[in-house]
Amino acid sequence: MLSSFVKKRLLKDDLKISKIKKRFFNLPKYNPNSHYKDIAVNDYFYALLLLRHYIKFTSDNYFGIEIGAKNIDLFMITPSISSPMGPGSDSEPIKIKFGQLETFLVDSSQFGFEPLLLNKLDKVYCYLPSMRGENPDNRHLNQFFHCEFEMTGKLENLIPIAEKYVKSLCATILLMKNTVSKISTDVDKTKKILKKIVKLNAFPVITFDEAVEILIKSQNKRYVNFTKYGKDITQEGEIKLMDLLHLDVPVWIKYFDRDRVPFYQKPYPKNKDRTINADLLFPPLAKKAFGGEILGSGQRQNNPQEMYESLKRQNNLSQKPYEWYIDLRRLSNYKTTSGFGLGIERFIAWALVKESIRDVIFYPRLKNIKTIP
């Protein structure tokens, strides 16, 4: 929990918001040519800055103080992309020219974390931008912020840490009642659901196969994507699933199809066509509001041969860029790790009942849209 000193500072900042009239917090329509002026004069962005500041502070406090993880800010360019791996990914790497070499803007810190965890560490985290090249929409930006955490241990050890992190973020937002009252689209929904989440002992869990079966019975083909590499649940399917389950709190979906997720996810021992991973889905707090997957997690593969097998199964993906990563498993001090990443803009958009993550970042970076600055 936040210290009394930090809470006092938070409440003091939040009180300032209460003295500004509500009408000054209307979010202007995004215009890439004049957005910098809106940031300079509109109080919505002042309130958003305060909220994001304390979300960041809560993350550092939770990981660095409460659970003793070490903060490591890593590279912004990399030869080895991670998150876009797997036929089921909707993420694209952003290629750049770096001197004479072709490389990529970093999409995730995971690959940088894992070697460090072999050197006398058990928990690491970061709070950094990630860059990806898919077409932007309500769920995707080409630059967004990620809080990522990696630890030695299995997924079962990771899940309680992820749940407590989400609860900590919810608790902080609830403390900022004046800020929330000015920039949430539905203040009552924000307060009601966040309070409920803070009090939960554990989030509900459903397997991927169970989720797919429920969605198939709904007889809408848009909810599940069937391919030669397996199945995945569409964005529309994620929202429908929570509606069918009558859930108003986040739900874990575990054990996805092996050939639709990254090759480094550990196969599930009871079914080698599934993996030891879990996505945390958040129900929209209002019609058309943001919802769906906000946190993704998994247990990393510890068997080089199974990793080669996964690469082969996934349309014979090239082994060459990942030989160094696979080789880590051959070190005598190798330990199994698990990790998760939470999309900061996705979480804030969900909590504030916004429709798009573009509404909760200061400088949206959108492919093929020229911006100032």
For the entire predicted model, the pTM comes to: 0.97
What pLDDT is attached to residue 318?
A: 85
- Convert the pLDDT of each residue in 25-44 to its tens digit: 999 899 999 999 999 999 99
What pLDDT is attached to residue 85?
A: 59
Start-end of H helices in 107-254: 110-117, 155-175, 177-183, 187-199, 208-217, 235-244
Mean pLDDT of the chain: 95
Helix (H) and strand (E) counts for the chain?
12, 15
Joined tokens for residue 114: 């894992």
Total domain count, the chain: 1
Q: Which range, of 90-104, 195-209, 267-281, averages the lowest pLDDT?
A: 90-104
Joined tokens for residue 74: 């890593």
Q: Which of these, 1, 8, 4, 127, lies nearest to 66 by C-alpha position?
A: 1
| Interval 71-88 mean pLDDT | 81
| Interval 347-365 mean pLDDT | 97
Rounded Cα distance between 356 and 23, Å, is: 21
Domain span at 33: 4-360
Model confidence at 83, pLDDT cuts 50, 70, 90, reads low
| Interval 81-109 mean pLDDT | 84
**357, pLDDT greater than 90:** yes
Amino acid, single-letter form, for residue 320: K
370 domain-assigned:
no
367 domain-assigned:
no
Rounded Cα distance between 330 and 333, Å, is: 9
Q: Which domain CATH number covers 202? A: 3.30.930.10
What pLDDT is attached to residue 24?
A: 84
Rounded Cα distance between 146 and 343, Å, is: 5
194 domain-assigned:
yes
372 domain-assigned:
no
366 domain-assigned:
no
Rounded Cα distance between 195 and 173, Å, is: 10
146 domain-assigned:
yes
100 domain-assigned:
yes
265 domain-assigned:
yes
Q: 10 Å Cβ neighbour count for 139? A: 20
Rounded Cα distance between 59 and 55, Å, is: 6
Q: Which range, of 78-92, 192-206, 258-272, averages the lowest pLDDT?
A: 78-92
Residue 33's SS3 state is coil
